[in-house]
Structure 1
Amino acid sequence: MADPLFDAIERKRLANLLDELGPDAPTLLDPWTTRDLASHLVLREHDLIAAPGLVIPGAWSRFAERRRNALAHRDFSWLVDTIRSGPPRGFFRINWVRRLPNLNEFFVHHEDVRRANGLAPRANSPAMDAALWRNVSFAPWLLARRLRDTGLELEWAGTGKTLRVRRGKPAARIVGLPGELLLYLFGRQRAARVDVNGPACAIEAVGRAQFGM
């Protein structure tokens, strides 16, 4: 039952790192800086009108980006304090939201900042790894929907636990710890510490694919 707290842990760690690095540090989301990322996180939870534009393309997405740019001009300390203060009342405090999208959001963006600034992958607790594997297992086909011409399996390194994402032959298998697999599925392929195994054509197909939302 401690799972819902992992999003709060990642939120706090990310806020502390943002404070430490300041507003102009790089992220994996080049050309975004830490200021851009902080404004994105504030908009996601606090701008009910613009937030859907983070996932809906077109005019709504452009509207959300204008609102995010406006937030990015706010004081950086205010942005970080708003993130640290936790989710506002309502949707983002619902238990399943904390366990799934919020944990994914704060874990992945925490790593966006860490790894862009030379910090190595972390050794997560067994409970954290279990929570991340659960999230990896939740509709991974959505994040891999642009993959073509190959099947895909995921394997939690060192455990033998596997998950079939896409049927098909030939098939590739991505092997890594749960956090690394999550990063890969969310489009951070270059940063994720994983092994991609299988026939050469399947590995090439995975390498060409655009993963993520």
Structure 2
Amino acid sequence: MSNHALAERHRLAELLAAAGPDAPTLCAGWTTRDLAAHLVIRERRPDAAPGIRVAALAGWTKRVQDDFATRPYEELLRLFRSGPPIYSPFALPGADEAGNTVEYFVHAEDVLRAADDWTEQPVPPGRAEALWRRLPMLARLEVGRRSPVRLQLHHPDGRSLTLGPAGAPTVHLTGAPGELVLFTFGRGAHTTLDVDGPSDAIEALRHVLPLPKK
């Protein structure tokens, strides 16, 4: 069975190593060192991980992450490459694949696409399909309630996903599953998606969620 999370872990680690500790990322305010520290505490410090999502706990998470970020960059990459320790929730059977395939894909692209001269890396068909399978839940959680317009996300093979307020004007976004996943996580300005729909609806969406530059 393919392990997409493991493959993306290796890809992300190589991109981080190639970029060095002080390169920019698409994560606002984070360098590659900060991103590496985030990845390590997410699976090695269960006490700090909840603050990644829960605002009330974010201060503690930031303190722990900042402390880890002072460690040698090579140590952070070694810890990330070695995978979750036995006490980590991600060490449970299937948890790494379920919880990290999208996480590592998005963060790999955060490193890759922060460079001015980035070149899109091909996504293996099986991994692209895994991203597409996860897209409905992710899109509804991340953008479904925020979008002021009806959204149709189109796979190049003709499959589509519809979300957003019924009765609102519709904006169509077409692209590979990875590009659609990046859009749902707020990286739309750095994607190769095609956007179509009424101009006022597109502008209304652009005010809420980043879209590819015109």
Superposition TM-score, scaled by structure 2 size: 0.90
Runs of 4+ displaced beyond 4 Å: none
More off after superposition, 40-49 vs 114-123 = 114-123
SS class of match (1:137): helix
Q: Is 1:177 equivalent to 2:176 in the alignment?
A: yes
Q: Is 1:21 equivalent to 2:10 in the alignment?
A: no
Please tell me whether the aligned partners of residues 143 and 184 of structure 2 are also in contact (alpha carbons under 8 angstroms): yes
Matches within 5 A, 1:24-173: 24-58=22-56, 60-89=57-86, 90-117=88-115, 118-157=117-156, 159-168=157-166, 169-173=168-172
SS class of match (2:195): strand
Alignment partners' CA distance in 2, 1:136 and 1:180 = 11
SS class of match (1:149): coil
Cα distance change on mapping 1:32 and 1:164 into 2, 3 Å: same
Structure 1 residue 146: Cα displacement: 4.8
Structure 1 residue 95: Cα displacement: 5.0
Alignment partners' CA distance in 1, 2:123 and 2:26 = 20
Residue type matched to 2:39 in 1?
A: L
Q: CA-to-partner distance for each residue in 1:117-173, whole Å, 9 max, x for gaps?
A: 23211121211110111111224111104524311111012x001011224221111
RMSD (Å) for aligned C-alpha atoms: 1.7
Segments of structure 2 that go 5 or more residues without pairing to the other structure are none
Residue type matched to 1:103 in 2?
A: T
Structure 1 residue 18: Cα displacement: 1.6
SS class of match (1:190): helix
Cα distance change on mapping 1:56 and 1:174 into 2, 3 Å: same
Please tell me whether the aligned partners of residues 147 and 205 of structure 1 are also in contact (alpha carbons under 8 angstroms): no
Please tell me whether the aligned partners of residues 188 and 209 of structure 2 are also in contact (alpha carbons under 8 angstroms): no
Cα distance change on mapping 1:153 and 1:52 into 2, 3 Å: same
Segments of structure 1 that go 5 or more residues without pairing to the other structure are none
Residue type matched to 1:67 in 2?
A: V
Q: CA-to-partner distance for each residue in 1:101-130, whole Å, 9 max, x for gaps?
A: 301110000000011123211121211110
Superposition TM-score, scaled by structure 1 size: 0.90
More off after superposition, 45-54 vs 118-127 = 118-127
Q: Is 1:194 equivalent to 2:193 in the alignment?
A: yes
Matches within 5 A, 1:2-13: 2=2, 5-13=3-11
Residue type matched to 2:103 in 1?
A: E
Alignment partners' CA distance in 2, 1:32 and 1:147 = 24
Aligned length: 207
SS class of match (1:144): helix
Cα distance change on mapping 1:95 and 1:178 into 2, 3 Å: farther
Alignment partners' CA distance in 2, 1:95 and 1:126 = 24
